[in-house]
Amino acid sequence: MEETKVVGKFDVVILGGSAGSLQVLMKILPLLNVQLPFAFVIVLHRKSTEDKTLEQLIDLKSTVNVREVEDKVLLVPGNIYIAPSDYHLLFEKDNYISLDASEKVNYSRPSIDVSFESAAEIYKSKVLGILLSGANADGTKGMQIIKEMGGTIIAQDPETAETPFMPLNAIKFAKPDYILTVEEIIDFINSIQ
Amino acid sequence: MIEDLQLETLINVVYEYYGFDFGSYSRASLKRRVDRIYQLDGFQRFSDFLSKIRSEPEYYKRLVEEITVNVTEMFRDPSFYKILKDEVLPNLAAKPFIRIWHAGCSTGEEVFSMAILLKEANLLQKAIIYATDINAKVLERAKKGVFGLQLIKQYAENYRNSGGKNDFSNYYIANYGVAKFNDEFSERMVFSQHNLVSDGSFNEFDLILCRNVLIYFDKDLQERAITLFDGSLSTLGYLALGSKETLKFASISDKYVQVNKEKVWRKLK
Ligand SMILES: C[S@@+](CC[C@H](N)C(=O)[O-])C[C@H]1O[C@@H](n2cnc3c(N)ncnc32)[C@H](O)[C@@H]1O
Protein backbone atom coordinates (compact mmCIF):
# COMPACT_ATOMS: atom_id res chain seq x y z
CA MET A 1 0.00 0.00 0.00
CA GLU A 2 2.96 2.35 -0.56
CA GLU A 3 1.64 5.58 -1.89
CA THR A 4 4.04 7.94 -3.60
CA LYS A 5 3.92 11.42 -2.21
CA VAL A 6 5.22 14.50 -3.86
CA VAL A 7 7.63 16.34 -1.66
CA GLY A 8 5.38 19.23 -0.81
CA LYS A 9 5.38 22.22 1.45
CA PHE A 10 6.32 21.91 5.08
CA ASP A 11 6.27 24.61 7.74
CA VAL A 12 8.30 22.57 10.16
CA VAL A 13 10.72 19.71 9.78
CA ILE A 14 11.52 17.97 13.07
CA LEU A 15 14.35 15.58 13.37
CA GLY A 16 14.46 13.31 16.41
CA GLY A 17 17.26 11.01 17.47
CA SER A 18 18.98 9.28 20.33
CA ALA A 19 22.05 7.03 20.59
CA GLY A 20 23.98 7.08 17.32
CA SER A 21 22.08 10.03 15.85
CA LEU A 22 24.60 12.81 16.41
CA GLN A 23 27.02 11.49 13.82
CA VAL A 24 24.16 11.22 11.31
CA LEU A 25 23.21 14.80 12.01
CA MET A 26 26.81 15.86 11.48
CA LYS A 27 26.65 14.28 8.03
CA ILE A 28 23.34 15.92 7.16
CA LEU A 29 24.03 19.47 8.30
CA PRO A 30 26.91 20.49 6.03
CA LEU A 31 25.00 19.29 2.97
CA LEU A 32 21.74 21.16 3.53
CA ASN A 33 20.61 23.95 1.22
CA VAL A 34 21.49 27.33 2.68
CA GLN A 35 17.97 28.73 2.21
CA LEU A 36 15.65 26.22 3.83
CA PRO A 37 11.98 27.06 3.18
CA PHE A 38 10.91 25.74 6.60
CA ALA A 39 11.94 25.91 10.27
CA PHE A 40 14.22 23.02 11.15
CA VAL A 41 13.82 21.71 14.70
CA ILE A 42 16.21 19.19 16.23
CA VAL A 43 15.28 17.10 19.27
CA LEU A 44 18.10 14.89 20.52
CA HIS A 45 18.43 12.89 23.71
CA ARG A 46 21.58 13.79 25.59
CA LYS A 47 23.06 14.54 28.96
CA SER A 48 21.91 17.80 30.52
CA THR A 49 25.44 19.18 30.71
CA GLU A 50 26.10 19.10 26.99
CA ASP A 51 23.86 22.00 25.95
CA LYS A 52 26.33 24.60 24.79
CA THR A 53 28.67 22.11 23.19
CA LEU A 54 25.91 20.58 21.09
CA GLU A 55 24.76 23.99 19.91
CA GLN A 56 28.29 25.01 19.03
CA LEU A 57 28.96 21.74 17.26
CA ILE A 58 25.84 22.06 15.16
CA ASP A 59 26.52 25.72 14.43
CA LEU A 60 30.02 24.85 13.28
CA LYS A 61 28.86 22.09 10.99
CA SER A 62 25.91 23.77 9.40
CA THR A 63 25.48 26.38 6.74
CA VAL A 64 22.09 27.28 8.20
CA ASN A 65 21.61 29.77 11.07
CA VAL A 66 21.25 28.22 14.51
CA ARG A 67 18.90 30.23 16.76
CA GLU A 68 19.12 29.95 20.50
CA VAL A 69 15.93 28.41 21.83
CA GLU A 70 14.34 30.25 24.73
CA ASP A 71 10.74 30.19 25.81
CA LYS A 72 8.39 31.97 23.33
CA VAL A 73 10.90 32.52 20.55
CA LEU A 74 9.39 32.84 17.11
CA LEU A 75 9.93 30.05 14.58
CA VAL A 76 11.26 31.56 11.38
CA PRO A 77 11.83 29.53 8.20
CA GLY A 78 15.46 29.07 7.27
CA ASN A 79 16.68 28.64 10.84
CA ILE A 80 17.68 25.69 12.99
CA TYR A 81 16.24 25.33 16.51
CA ILE A 82 17.69 22.85 18.98
CA ALA A 83 15.58 21.62 21.89
CA PRO A 84 17.46 22.52 25.09
CA SER A 85 18.19 19.70 27.49
CA ASP A 86 15.79 19.24 30.41
CA TYR A 87 12.86 20.92 28.63
CA HIS A 88 10.17 19.58 26.34
CA LEU A 89 9.81 21.71 23.23
CA LEU A 90 6.22 22.55 22.26
CA PHE A 91 4.58 24.53 19.47
CA GLU A 92 2.00 27.27 19.97
CA LYS A 93 -0.31 29.04 17.56
CA ASP A 94 1.28 32.03 15.79
CA ASN A 95 4.58 30.18 15.37
CA TYR A 96 5.85 30.46 18.92
CA ILE A 97 7.88 27.79 20.62
CA SER A 98 7.19 27.19 24.27
CA LEU A 99 9.16 25.12 26.73
CA ASP A 100 7.92 22.86 29.48
CA ALA A 101 9.93 21.27 32.29
CA SER A 102 7.31 18.71 33.33
CA GLU A 103 7.93 14.99 33.89
CA LYS A 104 10.12 13.03 31.51
CA VAL A 105 8.35 11.07 28.78
CA ASN A 106 9.93 7.77 27.69
CA TYR A 107 12.65 8.54 30.26
CA SER A 108 13.49 11.58 28.16
CA ARG A 109 13.32 15.35 28.38
CA PRO A 110 13.25 16.63 25.69
CA SER A 111 11.00 13.87 24.41
CA ILE A 112 10.63 13.36 20.66
CA ASP A 113 7.03 12.14 21.07
CA VAL A 114 6.08 15.35 22.84
CA SER A 115 7.49 17.61 20.11
CA PHE A 116 6.14 15.47 17.26
CA GLU A 117 2.67 15.43 18.76
CA SER A 118 2.64 19.14 19.50
CA ALA A 119 3.86 20.00 15.97
CA ALA A 120 1.14 17.79 14.48
CA GLU A 121 -1.52 19.59 16.54
CA ILE A 122 -0.47 23.00 15.27
CA TYR A 123 0.89 22.40 11.77
CA LYS A 124 -1.22 19.38 10.75
CA SER A 125 -0.18 18.24 7.25
CA LYS A 126 2.68 20.77 7.15
CA VAL A 127 4.92 18.67 9.40
CA LEU A 128 7.71 16.38 8.34
CA GLY A 129 8.98 14.14 11.15
CA ILE A 130 12.28 12.30 10.74
CA LEU A 131 13.42 9.66 13.21
CA LEU A 132 17.05 8.58 13.38
CA SER A 133 19.09 6.02 15.26
CA GLY A 134 18.38 5.27 18.92
CA ALA A 135 17.82 2.67 21.62
CA ASN A 136 14.54 4.00 22.96
CA ALA A 137 10.88 3.79 21.90
CA ASP A 138 10.53 7.59 21.92
CA GLY A 139 9.26 8.98 18.60
CA THR A 140 6.98 6.17 17.51
CA LYS A 141 3.80 7.48 19.10
CA GLY A 142 4.53 10.98 17.87
CA MET A 143 5.01 9.66 14.36
CA GLN A 144 1.65 7.95 14.47
CA ILE A 145 0.06 11.24 15.42
CA ILE A 146 1.85 13.22 12.69
CA LYS A 147 0.53 10.69 10.25
CA GLU A 148 -3.01 10.81 11.60
CA MET A 149 -2.98 14.57 11.20
CA GLY A 150 -1.88 14.31 7.58
CA GLY A 151 1.84 15.01 7.94
CA THR A 152 4.74 12.99 6.55
CA ILE A 153 7.12 10.69 8.43
CA ILE A 154 10.51 9.25 7.59
CA ALA A 155 12.50 6.63 9.48
CA GLN A 156 16.22 6.17 8.99
CA ASP A 157 16.89 2.85 7.31
CA PRO A 158 17.72 0.62 10.32
CA GLU A 159 20.48 -1.05 8.32
CA THR A 160 22.30 2.27 8.32
CA ALA A 161 21.61 3.11 11.96
CA GLU A 162 24.23 2.53 14.61
CA THR A 163 21.46 1.72 17.09
CA PRO A 164 18.51 0.47 15.02
CA PHE A 165 15.90 -0.02 17.76
CA MET A 166 14.25 3.38 17.46
CA PRO A 167 13.66 3.40 13.68
CA LEU A 168 12.72 -0.31 13.78
CA ASN A 169 10.11 0.37 16.41
CA ALA A 170 8.70 3.22 14.34
CA ILE A 171 8.62 1.09 11.20
CA LYS A 172 6.74 -1.61 13.08
CA PHE A 173 4.13 0.60 14.73
CA ALA A 174 3.89 3.85 12.76
CA LYS A 175 4.31 2.73 9.15
CA PRO A 176 6.54 5.57 7.94
CA ASP A 177 5.93 7.06 4.50
CA TYR A 178 9.61 6.58 3.70
CA ILE A 179 12.48 4.50 5.01
CA LEU A 180 15.64 6.20 3.83
CA THR A 181 19.41 6.03 4.07
CA VAL A 182 21.25 9.10 5.31
CA GLU A 183 22.05 10.26 1.76
CA GLU A 184 18.41 9.86 0.76
CA ILE A 185 17.28 11.84 3.79
CA ILE A 186 19.56 14.70 2.73
CA ASP A 187 18.16 14.62 -0.82
CA PHE A 188 14.62 14.55 0.49
CA ILE A 189 15.14 17.58 2.74
CA ASN A 190 16.86 19.52 -0.02
CA SER A 191 14.06 18.87 -2.47
CA ILE A 192 11.38 20.38 -0.23
CA GLN A 193 9.83 23.32 -2.06
CA MET B 1 -5.41 14.18 23.16
CA ILE B 2 -8.40 16.30 24.21
CA GLU B 3 -9.82 18.78 21.69
CA ASP B 4 -9.07 22.51 21.62
CA LEU B 5 -12.75 23.25 22.15
CA GLN B 6 -12.88 20.99 25.20
CA LEU B 7 -9.93 22.81 26.67
CA GLU B 8 -11.61 26.19 26.14
CA THR B 9 -14.76 24.86 27.81
CA LEU B 10 -12.77 23.68 30.79
CA ILE B 11 -11.04 27.05 31.10
CA ASN B 12 -14.45 28.73 31.15
CA VAL B 13 -15.92 26.31 33.68
CA VAL B 14 -12.98 26.76 36.04
CA TYR B 15 -13.24 30.53 35.74
CA GLU B 16 -16.97 30.59 36.24
CA TYR B 17 -17.03 28.24 39.25
CA TYR B 18 -13.76 29.05 40.98
CA GLY B 19 -12.61 32.38 39.56
CA PHE B 20 -9.27 31.00 38.50
CA ASP B 21 -8.20 32.03 35.02
CA PHE B 22 -6.13 29.50 33.11
CA GLY B 23 -6.96 31.44 29.93
CA SER B 24 -3.52 33.04 29.79
CA TYR B 25 -1.50 29.90 30.33
CA SER B 26 0.55 28.55 27.41
CA ARG B 27 -1.98 26.50 25.45
CA ALA B 28 0.32 23.70 24.31
CA SER B 29 1.55 22.77 27.76
CA LEU B 30 -1.81 23.41 29.45
CA LYS B 31 -3.44 21.03 27.01
CA ARG B 32 -0.89 18.32 27.78
CA ARG B 33 -1.41 18.80 31.52
CA VAL B 34 -5.19 18.64 31.29
CA ASP B 35 -5.02 15.64 28.98
CA ARG B 36 -2.68 13.94 31.44
CA ILE B 37 -5.04 14.18 34.42
CA TYR B 38 -8.01 13.25 32.22
CA GLN B 39 -6.23 10.02 31.23
CA LEU B 40 -4.76 9.43 34.68
CA ASP B 41 -8.18 9.56 36.32
CA GLY B 42 -9.65 7.27 33.70
CA PHE B 43 -12.40 9.47 32.27
CA GLN B 44 -14.23 8.25 29.16
CA ARG B 45 -16.35 11.32 28.53
CA PHE B 46 -15.28 14.91 28.79
CA SER B 47 -18.67 15.92 30.19
CA ASP B 48 -18.10 13.64 33.20
CA PHE B 49 -14.77 15.27 33.80
CA LEU B 50 -16.35 18.74 33.65
CA SER B 51 -19.22 17.91 35.95
CA LYS B 52 -16.85 16.45 38.53
CA ILE B 53 -14.84 19.67 38.43
CA ARG B 54 -18.03 21.71 38.81
CA SER B 55 -19.53 19.76 41.66
CA GLU B 56 -16.48 18.76 43.70
CA PRO B 57 -14.24 21.56 45.01
CA GLU B 58 -11.80 18.92 46.28
CA TYR B 59 -11.44 17.57 42.79
CA TYR B 60 -10.90 21.07 41.46
CA LYS B 61 -8.01 21.40 43.92
CA ARG B 62 -6.52 18.21 42.61
CA LEU B 63 -6.90 19.52 39.07
CA VAL B 64 -4.93 22.68 39.85
CA GLU B 65 -2.25 20.69 41.64
CA GLU B 66 -1.86 18.35 38.70
CA ILE B 67 -1.94 21.05 36.03
CA THR B 68 0.77 23.16 37.59
CA VAL B 69 4.23 21.73 37.18
CA ASN B 70 6.06 21.55 40.51
CA VAL B 71 9.39 20.05 39.43
CA THR B 72 12.23 21.75 41.30
CA GLU B 73 15.57 21.03 42.99
CA MET B 74 18.15 22.65 45.26
CA PHE B 75 20.81 24.70 43.49
CA ARG B 76 19.09 24.02 40.15
CA ASP B 77 21.44 25.46 37.49
CA PRO B 78 24.60 25.81 39.63
CA SER B 79 26.07 28.58 37.46
CA PHE B 80 23.07 30.73 38.32
CA TYR B 81 23.73 30.33 42.06
CA LYS B 82 27.36 31.20 41.50
CA ILE B 83 26.28 34.58 40.10
CA LEU B 84 23.96 35.14 43.06
CA LYS B 85 26.83 34.46 45.40
CA ASP B 86 29.57 36.35 43.54
CA GLU B 87 27.68 39.30 42.04
CA VAL B 88 24.26 39.80 43.54
CA LEU B 89 24.62 39.23 47.28
CA PRO B 90 27.81 41.34 47.62
CA ASN B 91 25.93 44.26 46.09
CA LEU B 92 23.09 43.88 48.56
CA ALA B 93 25.31 43.36 51.58
CA ALA B 94 25.47 47.02 52.62
CA LYS B 95 21.70 47.32 53.05
CA PRO B 96 20.25 47.34 56.56
CA PHE B 97 17.62 44.80 55.46
CA ILE B 98 17.46 42.50 52.50
CA ARG B 99 14.03 41.58 51.21
CA ILE B 100 13.71 38.69 48.78
CA TRP B 101 10.67 37.28 46.97
CA HIS B 102 10.51 33.81 45.43
CA ALA B 103 7.41 33.82 43.20
CA GLY B 104 6.31 30.29 42.30
CA CYS B 105 8.53 28.66 44.93
CA SER B 106 6.94 25.20 44.66
CA THR B 107 8.16 22.86 47.44
CA GLY B 108 10.85 25.29 48.58
CA GLU B 109 14.14 23.77 47.43
CA GLU B 110 15.10 27.05 45.78
CA VAL B 111 14.23 29.02 48.91
CA PHE B 112 16.42 26.88 51.15
CA SER B 113 19.26 27.14 48.62
CA MET B 114 18.98 30.92 48.87
CA ALA B 115 19.00 30.79 52.66
CA ILE B 116 22.20 28.75 52.58
CA LEU B 117 23.89 31.33 50.34
CA LEU B 118 22.73 34.12 52.66
CA LYS B 119 24.12 32.32 55.69
CA GLU B 120 27.47 31.79 54.02
CA ALA B 121 27.60 35.50 53.18
CA ASN B 122 26.72 36.36 56.80
CA LEU B 123 23.52 38.02 55.62
CA LEU B 124 20.88 35.59 56.82
CA GLN B 125 20.05 37.48 60.00
CA LYS B 126 19.13 40.65 58.17
CA ALA B 127 17.30 38.95 55.35
CA ILE B 128 13.66 38.12 55.05
CA ILE B 129 12.52 35.77 52.33
CA TYR B 130 8.92 35.80 51.08
CA ALA B 131 8.06 32.64 49.21
CA THR B 132 4.76 32.37 47.37
CA ASP B 133 2.89 29.97 45.12
CA ILE B 134 -0.73 29.40 44.10
CA ASN B 135 -0.63 25.83 45.23
CA ALA B 136 -1.32 25.53 48.98
CA LYS B 137 -0.13 21.94 49.09
CA VAL B 138 3.40 22.68 47.90
CA LEU B 139 3.61 25.59 50.37
CA GLU B 140 2.77 23.22 53.25
CA ARG B 141 5.66 21.04 52.21
CA ALA B 142 8.01 23.97 51.69
CA LYS B 143 7.37 25.24 55.24
CA LYS B 144 8.66 22.01 56.72
CA GLY B 145 12.07 22.23 55.07
CA VAL B 146 12.16 18.47 54.74
CA PHE B 147 13.46 16.85 51.56
CA GLY B 148 14.02 13.23 50.56
CA LEU B 149 17.43 11.95 51.52
CA GLN B 150 17.81 10.13 48.21
CA LEU B 151 17.88 13.54 46.46
CA ILE B 152 20.48 15.09 48.74
CA LYS B 153 23.46 13.61 46.95
CA GLN B 154 22.47 15.41 43.75
CA TYR B 155 21.76 18.61 45.67
CA ALA B 156 25.14 18.46 47.40
CA GLU B 157 26.78 18.08 44.01
CA ASN B 158 24.84 21.06 42.62
CA TYR B 159 25.92 23.01 45.71
CA ARG B 160 29.57 22.22 45.10
CA ASN B 161 29.25 23.03 41.39
CA SER B 162 27.87 26.42 42.34
CA GLY B 163 31.07 27.11 44.28
CA GLY B 164 29.88 25.94 47.70
CA LYS B 165 32.85 25.15 49.92
CA ASN B 166 31.28 23.88 53.13
CA ASP B 167 30.19 20.44 54.16
CA PHE B 168 26.61 20.36 52.87
CA SER B 169 25.56 17.93 55.57
CA ASN B 170 26.04 20.66 58.21
CA TYR B 171 22.85 22.27 56.98
CA TYR B 172 20.42 19.48 57.75
CA ILE B 173 19.76 16.56 60.05
CA ALA B 174 19.25 13.20 58.36
CA ASN B 175 16.67 10.90 59.85
CA TYR B 176 14.26 8.21 58.62
CA GLY B 177 15.18 8.76 54.98
CA VAL B 178 14.66 12.51 55.03
CA ALA B 179 16.82 15.57 55.48
CA LYS B 180 15.40 18.27 57.73
CA PHE B 181 17.03 21.63 57.13
CA ASN B 182 18.03 23.67 60.17
CA ASP B 183 15.44 25.96 61.74
CA GLU B 184 17.68 29.02 61.41
CA PHE B 185 16.76 28.93 57.70
CA SER B 186 13.00 28.60 57.95
CA GLU B 187 12.94 31.27 60.65
CA ARG B 188 13.81 33.81 57.98
CA MET B 189 11.05 32.68 55.60
CA VAL B 190 7.43 33.71 55.18
CA PHE B 191 5.27 31.43 53.03
CA SER B 192 1.96 32.51 51.59
CA GLN B 193 -0.41 31.93 48.74
CA HIS B 194 -0.15 34.43 45.91
CA ASN B 195 -1.52 34.17 42.40
CA LEU B 196 0.50 35.86 39.67
CA VAL B 197 -2.56 35.99 37.43
CA SER B 198 -4.72 38.06 39.76
CA ASP B 199 -2.88 39.26 42.89
CA GLY B 200 -0.92 42.49 43.10
CA SER B 201 2.27 43.73 44.65
CA PHE B 202 2.59 43.29 48.43
CA ASN B 203 5.98 44.79 49.29
CA GLU B 204 9.16 46.23 47.85
CA PHE B 205 12.04 43.84 47.31
CA ASP B 206 15.76 43.93 46.59
CA LEU B 207 15.75 40.61 44.80
CA ILE B 208 12.89 38.81 43.09
CA LEU B 209 13.22 35.29 41.73
CA CYS B 210 10.62 33.78 39.46
CA ARG B 211 12.18 30.78 37.80
CA ASN B 212 10.49 28.25 35.54
CA VAL B 213 7.07 29.72 36.14
CA LEU B 214 6.77 32.14 33.21
CA ILE B 215 7.32 29.35 30.65
CA TYR B 216 3.80 28.15 31.53
CA PHE B 217 2.28 31.58 30.78
CA ASP B 218 1.44 33.05 27.39
CA LYS B 219 3.17 36.24 26.27
CA ASP B 220 0.50 38.57 27.65
CA LEU B 221 0.54 37.04 31.10
CA GLN B 222 4.34 37.01 31.05
CA GLU B 223 4.26 40.73 30.36
CA ARG B 224 1.78 41.32 33.21
CA ALA B 225 3.82 39.27 35.66
CA ILE B 226 7.05 41.03 34.72
CA THR B 227 5.35 44.41 35.14
CA LEU B 228 4.24 43.28 38.60
CA PHE B 229 7.83 42.34 39.46
CA ASP B 230 9.12 45.64 38.12
CA GLY B 231 6.62 47.47 40.32
CA SER B 232 7.76 45.45 43.35
CA LEU B 233 11.49 45.90 42.87
CA SER B 234 13.60 48.71 44.35
CA THR B 235 15.98 50.66 42.10
CA LEU B 236 19.24 48.71 41.77
CA GLY B 237 17.38 45.57 42.80
CA TYR B 238 17.66 42.31 40.89
CA LEU B 239 15.22 40.13 38.98
CA ALA B 240 16.10 36.49 38.29
CA LEU B 241 14.37 34.18 35.80
CA GLY B 242 14.73 30.54 34.78
CA SER B 243 17.48 29.36 32.46
CA LYS B 244 15.32 29.50 29.30
CA GLU B 245 13.30 32.58 30.18
CA THR B 246 14.13 36.11 29.14
CA LEU B 247 13.36 39.75 29.83
CA LYS B 248 14.17 40.56 26.21
CA PHE B 249 10.54 40.69 25.04
CA ALA B 250 9.23 42.70 28.02
CA SER B 251 8.27 46.35 27.66
CA ILE B 252 10.30 47.34 30.75
CA SER B 253 13.48 45.66 29.52
CA ASP B 254 15.29 48.92 28.73
CA LYS B 255 15.36 49.77 32.44
CA TYR B 256 17.43 46.68 33.14
CA VAL B 257 20.93 45.38 32.46
CA GLN B 258 21.74 41.72 32.36
CA VAL B 259 24.39 40.46 34.78
CA ASN B 260 27.15 38.37 33.18
CA LYS B 261 24.90 36.76 30.57
CA GLU B 262 23.15 34.79 33.31
CA LYS B 263 19.41 35.03 33.85
CA VAL B 264 19.72 37.91 36.29
CA TRP B 265 18.87 41.53 35.49
CA ARG B 266 19.55 44.65 37.53
CA LYS B 267 17.05 47.45 37.61
CA LEU B 268 18.75 50.74 36.81
CA LYS B 269 15.83 53.16 37.08
C1 LIG C 1 8.30 24.42 38.03
S2 LIG C 1 7.84 25.19 39.52
C3 LIG C 1 9.23 26.26 39.79
C4 LIG C 1 9.93 26.03 41.10
C5 LIG C 1 11.21 26.81 41.30
N6 LIG C 1 11.02 28.23 41.14
C7 LIG C 1 12.30 26.30 40.38
O8 LIG C 1 12.66 26.99 39.40
O9 LIG C 1 12.84 25.23 40.63
C10 LIG C 1 6.52 26.25 39.01
C11 LIG C 1 5.63 26.74 40.15
O12 LIG C 1 4.82 27.82 39.70
C13 LIG C 1 3.58 27.78 40.37
N14 LIG C 1 2.57 28.56 39.66
C15 LIG C 1 1.91 28.23 38.51
N16 LIG C 1 1.00 29.17 38.21
C17 LIG C 1 1.12 30.15 39.16
C18 LIG C 1 0.44 31.38 39.39
N19 LIG C 1 -0.53 31.80 38.59
N20 LIG C 1 0.80 32.11 40.47
C21 LIG C 1 1.78 31.69 41.30
N22 LIG C 1 2.45 30.53 41.14
C23 LIG C 1 2.12 29.76 40.09
C24 LIG C 1 3.28 26.29 40.43
O25 LIG C 1 2.35 25.99 41.43
C26 LIG C 1 4.68 25.68 40.65
O27 LIG C 1 4.89 25.40 42.01
Do residue B92 and residue B47 come from a single domain?
no
Domain boundary among B42, B67, B92: B67
Residue A61 has pLDDT above 90, yes or no: no
B244–A100 C-beta distance less than 8 A: no
- Whether residue A128 lies inside any domain: the answer is yes
Classified as helix, coil or strand, B60 is helix
Which backbone phi and psi does A60 adopt, to 5 degrees?
Answer: -65, -40
Among B3, B8, B25, B29, the strongest candidate for a mutation testing the A interface, having the largest count of A CBs within 10 A, is: B29
DSSP assigned state of A191: T
pLDDT, averaged across chain A: 92
**R_g of chain B, CA atoms, integer Å:** 19
A157 is catalytic: no
User: What CA dihedral angle connects B220, B221, B226 and B229, to 10 degrees?
Assistant: 150
Q: Is the CB of B76 under 6 A from ligand 1?
A: yes
Find the helix or strand (DSSP H, E) in which A178 lies: strand A178-180
- Whether residue B124 lies inside any domain: the answer is yes
Q: Are A142 and A120 in contact (CB under 8 A)?
A: yes
pLDDT in tens, B180-189: 999 999 999 9
Do residue B36 and residue B110 come from a single domain?
no
Domain boundary among B13, B35, B67: B67
Do residue B263 and residue B166 come from a single domain?
yes
Please say whether the dihedral angle defined by the alpha carbons of residues B204, B208, B213 and B219, taken in this order, is positive or negative. Answer: positive
pLDDT in tens, B78-116: 999 999 999 999 999 999 999 999 999 999 999 999 999
CB contacts of B219 in chain A (<8 Å) are: 72, 96
- Cα within 13 Å of Cα(B171), Cβ side: 25
CATH assignment of the domain containing B243: 3.40.50.150
pLDDT > 70: what percent of chain B?
Answer: 100
Surface of A (55-94) touching B: CB under 8 A? 69-72, 84, 87-88, 90-93
pLDDT in tens, B157-199: 999 999 999 999 999 999 999 999 999 999 999 999 999 999 9
Do residue B100 and residue B138 come from a single domain?
yes
Rounded to two decimals, what is the model's pTM? 0.93
Q: What share of chain B is helix, strand, coil (3-state, %, to 5)?
A: 50, 20, 30
Do residue B31 and residue B114 come from a single domain?
no
Q: How far is CA A166 from CA A107, A133, A146, A161, A187, in A?
A: 14, 6, 17, 9, 22
Of residues A69, A98, A101, nearest to B28 (C-beta)? A98
- The pLDDT of residue A57 is 84
Question: Which position among A88, A118, A133, A138 bears the catalytic label?
Answer: A138
Confidence label for A64 from pLDDT (cuts 50, 70 and 90): confident
- The pLDDT of residue A8 is 65
- Whether residue A37 lies inside any domain: the answer is yes
Q: Is the CB of B134 under 6 A from ligand 1?
A: yes
- The pLDDT of residue A145 is 98
A138 is catalytic: yes
pLDDT in tens, A150-193: 999 999 999 999 999 999 999 999 999 999 999 999 999 999 98
Q: How far is CA B93 from CA A182, B112, B139, B182, B206, in A?
A: 58, 19, 28, 23, 11
Nearest C-alpha of chain B: how many angstroms from A100? 7
Do residue B26 and residue B136 come from a single domain?
no
What ipTM did this prediction achieve?
0.91
Residue A5 has pLDDT above 70, yes or no: no
Do residue B42 and residue B109 come from a single domain?
no
Say which range, A61-65, A187-191, B207-211, has the weakest mean pLDDT: A61-65
Say which range, A3-7, A41-45, A108-112, B120-124, has the weakest mean pLDDT: A3-7
A93–B27 C-beta distance less than 8 A: yes
Give distance in angstroms: CA of B135 to centre of ligand 1: 8
Of residues B32, B71, B219, nearest to A101 (C-beta)? B71
Among A72, A109, A117, the strongest candidate for a mutation testing the B interface, having the largest count of B CBs within 10 A, is: A72
- Whether residue A5 lies inside any domain: the answer is no
Angle between helices B57-67 and B4-18 (to 10 degrees): 130
- The pLDDT of residue A49 is 60
Question: Which position among A11, A21, A45, A113 bears the catalytic label?
Answer: A45
Domain boundary among B67, B91, B117: B67
- The pLDDT of residue B250 is 95
B33–A114 C-beta distance less than 8 A: no
From B61, B133, B147, B224, the mutation candidate for ligand 1 (largest count of ligand atoms within 8 A of CB) is: B133
Nearest C-alpha of chain A: how many angstroms from B12? 20
- Whether residue B72 lies inside any domain: the answer is no
Strands A97-100 and A88-91: antiparallel
- Whether residue B190 lies inside any domain: the answer is yes
- Whether residue B73 lies inside any domain: the answer is no
Domain count, chain B: 2
- The pLDDT of residue A2 is 43
- Whether residue B14 lies inside any domain: the answer is yes
- Whether residue B88 lies inside any domain: the answer is yes
Say which range, A53-57, B3-7, B164-168, has the weakest mean pLDDT: A53-57
Nearest C-alpha of chain A: how many angstroms from B115? 24
Residue A87: which domain range?
A: 12-190
pLDDT > 90: what percent of chain B?
Answer: 98
Do residue B129 and residue B230 come from a single domain?
yes
* Angle ∠(A55,A61,A62) on CA atoms, nearest 5: 90
Which backbone phi and psi does B180 adopt, to 5 degrees?
Answer: -100, 120
A18 is catalytic: yes
CA distance linking residue A162 with residue B238, whole number of Å: 48
Do residue B120 and residue B62 come from a single domain?
no
- The pLDDT of residue A1 is 40
CB contacts of B212 in chain A (<8 Å) are: 101
pLDDT, averaged across chain B: 96
Domain count, chain A: 1
Of residues B26, B214, B244, nearest to A87 (C-beta)? B244
Residue A3 has pLDDT above 90, yes or no: no
Amino acid in the structure at residue B96 = P
Residue A6 has pLDDT above 60, yes or no: no
* Residue A108, strand partner residues: A105
Q: In this complex, how many residue pairs, one in chain A and one in chain B, have their CB atoms less than 8 Å apart? A: 60
- Whether residue A67 lies inside any domain: the answer is yes
CA distance linking residue B265 with residue B261, whole number of Å: 9
Do residue B34 and residue B133 come from a single domain?
no
What average pLDDT does this structure show over A110-133? 97
DSSP alpha helix (H) spans, B68-148: 78-83, 89-92, 109-120, 136-144
- Whether residue B212 lies inside any domain: the answer is yes
- Whether residue A7 lies inside any domain: the answer is no
CB contacts of A101 in chain B (<8 Å) are: 69, 71, 212, 215
Residue B213: which domain range?
A: 78-267
Do residue B209 and residue B108 come from a single domain?
yes
Instruction: Please name which of A26, A35, A44 lies closest in space to residue A189, comparing C-alpha atoms.
Output: A35
CATH assignment of the domain containing B61: 1.10.155
CATH assignment of the domain containing A169: 3.40.50.180
CA distance linking residue B117 with residue B124, whole number of Å: 8
Do residue B20 and residue B114 come from a single domain?
no
CB contacts of A91 in chain B (<8 Å) are: 28
- The pLDDT of residue B269 is 85
